[in-house]
Amino acid sequence: MSGTSSRPVEKSGVFKLGGVLPIHRLGYGAMQLTGPGIWGPPKDRAEAVRVLRRAVELGVDFIDTADSYGPYVSEEIIAEALHPYAKGLVIATKAGLVRTGPNQWHPVGAPKYLRQEVEMSLRRLKLERIDLFQLHRIDPRVPVEESLGELKALQKEGKLGHIGLSEVSVEDIQRARKVVDVVSVQNRYNLTDRVHEQVLAYCEQEQLGFIPWFPLATGGLAKPGGALDAEARKHQASPAQIALAWLLARSPVMLPIPGTSSVKHLEENLAGAELSLSKDELAAVDAQASGR
């Protein structure tokens, strides 16, 4: 299917982070605006800039990035492409993973380090306040109370708006909420990877935004000949659009952030917000994805 609206993302519905900050439920993840292994600059920086600008044109008002993407590259390109930012555009970023090379990620949650990264992200993104700042990983060597205590201090200073977590259990979230007001959780989740089902259920119960990373299973759910082909042909849609439509229907707190470095793929993904699946169709997609 091709989009029938000039701003298809608006069909995805609205979620209020922390009950107060409205965003459309289908956003954009900026991890892929970097080189191989999420390391270094992209092959085509001009196309990366076009992708970001086109995303906003199509109604995206929630962009997710991190200091570790590049590192720093993704944040720099976002500022280059979109600053000064449109009213209502929420840029979410993260810190807590240090990079030592392509595909290498190491948790660091020391308070001084997190403060440094917040200050640097503010500078790179050309922001006075980051609307949503997420602890990218809990560092097993640092009590989470210390890591989040520093983020709470930065929040009180007006440098952070809301605070979220990434790759956490229900127990982690409950522990974190004793320190800060958690508004979102970013865990890996898609049609074929539902290990965090309990976390999603908790987020739904508590009205926390659930941001599924790898929503298309790194392209596995989008390839021709895959498990979603039959339903995609029925709707004259792409498998990626079916996978995103399923996620949006799965829970009202679900905030998918499909990423791409191609304007063509971006337009295709975001058109998925206009795709509506019936209960029977959702069940069929479920069965196809699980091989039943």
Enzyme catalytic residues: 69
Q: Write the DSSP symbol of residue 235.
A: T
What's phi and psi for 19, nearest 5 deg? Answer: 75, 5
Q: For residues 197 and 216, is the Cβ–Cβ distance under 8 A?
A: no
Q: For residues 78 and 91, is the Cβ–Cβ distance under 8 A?
A: yes
Gap between the Cα atoms of 55 and 60, Å rounded: 5
**253 is written with which tokens?**
């707190």
The percent of the chain in helix, strand and coil, each rounded to the nearest 5, is 40, 20, 40
Catalogue the E-assigned strands of the chain: 14-17, 21-24, 28-29, 62-64, 90-95, 97-101, 104-107, 130-135, 160-166, 182-188, 209-213
- Residues 6 or more apart from 227 whose CB is under 8 A from it? 191, 192, 221, 239, 288, 289, 291
Q: For residues 72 and 124, is the Cβ–Cβ distance under 8 A?
A: yes
What's phi and psi for 23, nearest 5 deg? Answer: -140, 155
